[in-house]
Structure 1
């Protein structure tokens, strides 16, 4: 569960949010952000070649190569092609303040890996550090190929005067963050990452160091709820906090309210980038909220009729999405509608509380109500996460539910400034 908490006045950031870096203005005739790159080939020893992605057909190769990596992995769930493709569309507001390069690696003329280099200028401006990302990384178990990919992105970031290479982050922390460190014997949940264990060794061999770990928890809903959780929930209910469901009848109104609350409570979260509400509304899961949202699992906490916190939980739709194999046509939509009642696991990815309302047991109250509702629906458990390793308040709150840590993800950094001096 990504726990969000801040009360900074977002109105103070209007000038920053309205700043338009527009890294794609020079390419107005193209649909995708990568179509202006031009063709580039870089040769490495051992018959390894890096190629730049510069058209939609190559993007399909970039996407499809992951199926070869995971062809014998029963747990991997492919992303939807339609969403994968949209991320790189110039209409995505993300590209108003970001840029990227996409590369594939070939060995013996076969595609065996991929990587993206990404720079979010708004993030750099916020933290005042020249950090760039590598993301969308996939590769066969061959360090020579992985090194060629990582070095290519490293060199591109250095050419852009970036001083720290961080990843894997697929553009934003909520799109994919970290290599999986443990918890390989279960399916990835909605909006979470998945990768083979050997990716960790790739990062370490490339002289990257762990900068952060992200944790996921599992709540066993077949067990009685902890008495401490019930007590804290009751104390919060007695304090005047009122809970209501997200309204399907007033979706736009509640969506606008929630996005503002989301942005306010996300401030201060690790990896946070201040963006306009319109950008949040285009993100996967949010723009489909009207169709995937279950009102009884999306709760708003109010005090004196004013929203002060929320929790957004969902059925674990990946139980259905796995069989769709990355496709989302009419057949898959019908399949989704017919099978969604068979889901027996819940997902608790987001909770946010305004700063002045923390330490009032609101988190425990919301967690308790969601757990009660999930149990009513016949769910046997719930995935919670991810939670940043340094978010001690969130770890303490989720521990009260009886949740057990079951997955860790690692994000790595490499100091390019010192590496460049050595070279």
Structure 2
């Protein structure tokens, strides 16, 4: 049986590229199907402003005309210039080392022509794309913003001599029915002492005014994290349009100072994992119904992004966020929480959860790297 690599050349082939894992994980209860429209927007040059300072190519591996794997290779201008480093992502394959080797070798060969001397992944164009291969927690439902992969992927990566470059952990646990005493004490004094407060909103439109400030905080607080590059104004506008259409205003916590500047935030939402599974890649004609139901009839919340400006991080701002979310979650009937990836060596962030009955590390994912 012949194995061949084929570059994605048009939108029809890109859609096939996107839908390949749908079949690979068809009977897997933990895999969350992404929305095809969102994936297309991310991967199309004319849609995603990341292409202002990056290049990408996509390939599928075919055996006798049937797709058996896929991969994206991405070159970010800054990363290439500073580190001679490129990325691979959107990688999925059957359990066949010949297939995974072909995919990775193809990506490697292309980024070498661009001047890269190493490649790492799975990574996206930005920190808000899917990143990090799952290495622990295969029997936990993925969030709509994280990668799910079969355990055999890791063996394939190691066989291709990829090594771990960075690892993230995620929390899973019960939403607190009340705040720890330490949090309660902090909340009582923080607002007065540091002139900060939780911003109140009447509607989603009001939140949009603060969206640029939210991403400014993200850029500043994430600047030293693995693989993070600041989002440009065009990218911020893009993500505001992408993500702020999927928010429920009371699940968003924004902390402002006395000048009404955003100094910290939490973007959370009722889990859409099961809704996306039922939608099977599309909001229409019926997928949006599952999403709406999940928005208002749900006991699981996803903590999508939490960030605080560095100069405010030691002032207890996290306590205000946790206090707000605890009250909102209790009122909304949220009983469980799931976080996004947090770097396992980022002790400042992980230690903030010590006061809660939360399992940190039940789910772990890693970025792998190979030098050549």
Q: TM > 0.5 between the two? A: yes
Name the SS for the 1:124 alignment partner. helix
| Cα deviations by residue, 1:223-261 (Å, 9 ceiling, x for unpaired) | 554333333333424534311135524344222332333
Unaligned runs of 5+ residues in structure 2 are none
Shift of 1:222: 5.9
RMSD: 2.0
* Distance in 2, Cα, partners of 1:48 & 1:289: 39
* Residue 66, structure 1, aligned to residue 21, structure 2: yes
Q: Where does 1:13-162 land on structure 2 (aligned, <5 Å)? A: 47-89=2-44, 90-125=46-81, 128-162=82-116
Structure 1 window deviating more from structure 2 (99-108 vs 208-217): it is 99-108
| Deviations 1:166-202, CA, capped at 9 Å, x for gaps | 0011322321111111111121113111111111111
Query: In 2 relative to 1, CA 290–322 (structure 1 residues): closer, same or farther, beyond 3 Å?
Result: same
Q: Following the alignment from structure 2 to structure 1, what is the Cα–Cα distance between the partners of residues 200 and 370?
A: 44
Q: What residue in structure 1 maps to residue 206 of structure 2?
A: 250
Following superposition, the deviation at residue 335 of structure 1 comes to 3.8
Provide TM-score, normalisation by structure 2.
Answer: 0.92
* Contact 2:164-2:367 within 8 A present in 1 as well: yes
Deviation digits for residues 53-89 of structure 1, max 9, x if unmatched?
A: 1112211221222122112212211111111111222
Instruction: Assess if the C-alpha contact under 8 Å between 2:278 and 2:290 holds in 1.
Output: no
Whether contact under 8 Å (2:271, 2:294) holds in the other structure is no
- The separation in 2 between residues aligned to 1:112 and 1:119, in whole angstroms, is 24
Residue in structure 1 matched with residue 350 of structure 2 by the alignment = 395
Q: Which has the larger radius of gyration?
A: 1
Question: Is it true that 1:300 corresponds to 2:254 in the alignment?
Answer: yes
Partner Cα separation in structure 1 for residue 294 and residue 341 of structure 2: 26
Q: Give the Cα–Cα distance (whole angstroms) in 1 for the partners of residues 326 and 139 of structure 2.
A: 24
Task: Determine helix, strand or coil for the equivalent of 1:119.
Answer: strand
How far is 1:385 from its partner? 2.3
Gap regions ≥5 residues in structure 1: 1-45, 417-423
Indicate the larger mover: 291-300 or 133-142: 291-300
TM-score between the two structures when normalised by the length of structure 1? 0.82
Report if aligned partners of 1:219, 1:401 keep a CA contact under 8 Å in 2.
no
Q: Partner of 2:124 in structure 1?
A: 170
CA contact 2:208–2:244 (8 Å) conserved in 1: no
- Aligned partner of 1:368 in structure 2 is 323
CA deviations over 1:301-352 (Å, ceiling 9, x no partner): 2232333222221111223221100011143224433453112101112122
**Partner SS state of residue 358, structure 1:** helix
Give the Cα–Cα distance (whole angstroms) in 2 for the partners of residues 235 and 401 of structure 1: 20
